[in-house]
Amino acid sequence: MNHETIQKEIIAAVHRAKEDCPLVPSITNTVTIELVANAQLAAGGSAAMVYLPDEGEAIAAAGEAFYINMGTLMPFYAETLPRTARALQEHHRPWVLDPVGIGIGGLRKGLLQCFRALPPSVVRGNASEIIALANLWGLDSGVARDGVRGVDATDSVETARPAAEALASFIHGAVAVSGECDLVTDGTLTVRSEGGSKLFTKITGAGCSLGGVTAVYLAETSPFIAALTAVQAYNLAGTRAAREAKGPGSFTAAFLDALYAATPEEIAANPFVVL
């Protein structure tokens, strides 16, 4: 797939999301739930946040794609997440996994190990999370280390590239690695997207909401194009928001406005390089 073809696919995906308003439920962390929902709405989707096992199963069938974020786990998620993942597989619904906090606690590790047999369509995370998930699933990450320190990356995006490509090949989907310069791969085709803002690191929920928006586009297109479209939209909106923001608070509002206003053609035109 060349640069021009990728741009055409991105434009089509954004158009369809804005026209269809796909229902994209989420099980996401309580710290960032509002930004996740607002970003999904700004991108053209319809958001629904659930917690309980029977809710997850029911809405997995009703939704067109799904987002699972591993932050702020509740004890009952030990039942909710596997049941939801099985329902998604049963109903052939694509979904996005954000393995935030991988390595923190036995419940999170066990649930992420469970997803190896119920794989997502897209994994989105920072470099350290992607490396840790590849290692947890027994894949060749190129880095012999388990777990992460907290929720922030301690590895570069380029260091995580082998792990991302291995994960993408294993799930037959796509992986997006967020960092100083974002990387998206389907295991064979790898793209680097440019732009964004350092202010993303000064607000909570930038990465979490990116996963939610990825799920919106996943309802409309392939895992690779969905992941890249979301990254492109975020990098464009982040660049624009930073120009007028006075700090993290005004940046969040300006970012949502820029995400909402971005046209399909503008998102596709944001700089990216096929590696």
Binding region for ATP: 124, 178
Alpha-carbon distance 58 to 97, whole Å? 19
Pick out the residues of the known binding site for substrate: 49, 205
Question: 């052939």: which residue's tokens?
Answer: 92
Token reading at 136: 């947890």
Pick out the residues of the known binding site: 49, 124, 178, 205
3-class SS letters over the chain: CCHHHHHHHHHHHHHHHHHHCCEEEEECCCCCHHHHHHHHHHHCCEEEECCCHHHHHHHHHHCCCEEEECCCCCCCHHHHHHHHHHHHHHCCCCEEEECCCCCCCHHHHHHHHHCCCCCCCEEEEEHHHHHHHHHHCCCCCCCCCCCCCCCCCCCCCCCCHHHHHHHHHHHCCEEEEECCCEEEECCCCEEEECCCCHHHHHCCCHHHHHHHHHHHHHCCCCHHHHHHHHHHHHHHHHHHHHHHCCCHHHHHHHHHHHHHHCCHHHHHHCCEEEC
At a CB cut-off of 8 Å and minimum separation 6, what does 4 contact?
none
